[in-house]
Structure 1
């Protein structure tokens, strides 16, 4: 087992300019999305480098604005009612994937109108480029030592002690003294071994989903199928890994005594993904390849 390294939150310091790890991860995410989208544009006659630049710009706006607004609405709505200015306090952290996802969808809709494409032509094009952003985002979560996993007594070599979780571990130790056998002392505080769920998510939602979507989209697929597989793949990954991730302290288990807010928000994605995948193949509209119908 390992102790979380407690990285300095500042990745680069250039005089008065400081670049935090999370900001650096966002830059890497957008750079990776642009590079992958540019490469895909070279394989599609209907796409150009200029369009890719616009596409990533709309997507970045959607991620940042949607992620922040979604976090406040989904997780801190009470705080928003008491203090509407909380929405603008981005330096305190707080981003939601589901909010960012909605923001990206809206951004792609505006992009589609501008370039006279259907929304799913755009979403199918960009979907395989998204998981790398999730990969970098989850690595940023791990570096910051946030969104850690649940306590485990499984003895797995990869379990991690997060000093950031010490106040929560102290409460658990008070509630269940038998957990003391698992605890170690770090900086004068006892901490418990937890799943590094950020790394689980980086692998499943990021690397694995990227490989699957990149392979799937490398061959002609009916319109909407790639987007559907993204919803299904992300939804399943997130829903499963939530069983290893510590629920937000102010949320806890919301439904049935075991279901988290993340699972509640993710379950509809799985259902919608299955429906869309079946509908895409039933409709059978192809935008490229020998089967292309060029239907709007």
Structure 2
């Protein structure tokens, strides 16, 4: 067992003005996506300014979709009891699945504006996303969010305000898997010739499988609990369509799509 690190969720405080680590992690994700996207912009015929526009579209999609998704899937009672809670995103409470829908809508709008193929654009975006996912999970960890189930593993740790029992640090698991591993795989594969839609399909499939696996050791939200059979969580339920869509898109790309040049 190791101790939970004592990190103040507020990174900088100046009187009534406070900057939270959770918000800074979003900045890290967006800056990383902007920098990586600029390196590959020429492959889609985009300029560096276009990447800035794409980032703006995506940021709006992430924030609006992520917050609304969390409110609908996890926090409907809290939203109804305190409507202003919806805009206090620095307190945590963002849904990846809602954010994904938001980014897909943003990508569709961007693709129409710039007359790009939608799947080619999502193949371009997919490898840029995992660093932001990983950074967001670090923000969750600093906020003492996403506690795991009780464990006797040597790296388990007691979560603040949850008693002395050591627990799986599931936010760190997700940082490693959904952030670092997913980025490494997608970035490496997108450097080789591949069919349109393959990278997008792999993103959906791999994220879905990794998230589904972590859900087995992550505590369900206490106000929701298990959805079915005493072990199915909301995260599992929302992730299953991603796995199915990923498999379907990979199959479609192998049969119908043209081979694309590598994204270097």
TM bracket, shorter-chain basis: over 0.9
1:266 aligns with 2:263: no
Aligned equivalents of 2:175 and 2:91: distance in 1? 23
* 3-state DSSP of counterpart to 1:210: helix
Q: Measured at CA, do residues 150 and 24 of structure 1 come closer, stay the same or move farther in structure 2, by a change above 3 Å?
A: same
TM-superposition CA deviations, 1:203-225 (whole Å, max 9, x none) = 00000000000011111211111
Larger gyration radius, structure 1 or structure 2: 1
TM-score, length of structure 1 as denominator length? 0.84
1:85 positional shift = 4.8
**Mapped partners of 2:28, 2:22: distance in 1:** 10
TM-score by length of 2: 0.94
Distance across 2 between alignment mates of 1:197 and 1:251: 18
Task: State the shift of 1:39 in Å.
Answer: 1.1
Count of residue pairs the alignment pairs up? 262
Partner of 1:19: 19
Structure 1: 5+ residue stretches without partners: 167-190, 290-296
**Superposition RMSD on alpha carbons, in Å?**
1.7
1:244, CA displacement in angstroms? 1.0
What's the counterpart of residue 161 of structure 1? 158
Q: Does 1:217 align with 2:216?
A: no
**Does residue 71 in structure 1 map to residue 70 in structure 2?**
yes
What is the deviation of 1:82?
Answer: 5.5
Which whole-Å CA distance do the structure 1 matches of 2:61 and 2:128 have between them? Answer: 15
Secondary structure (helix, strand or coil) at the match of 2:13 reads strand
- Offset, 1:78: 3.6
Alignment partner of 1:206 is 2:205? no
Q: 2: CA distance between counterparts of 1:282 and 1:72?
A: 39
Contact 2:30 2:132 in 1 (8 A): yes
Structure 1 counterpart of 2:216: 243
Pick which of 12-21 and 140-149 moved more. Answer: 12-21
Q: Secondary structure at the match of 1:2?
A: coil
CA distance in 2, matches of 1:284, 1:113: 20
CA-to-aligned-CA distance 1:55-82 (integer Å, 9 cap, x gap): 1111111111100000001112244455
Q: Could you say which residue in structure 2 is the equivalent of 1:124?
A: 123
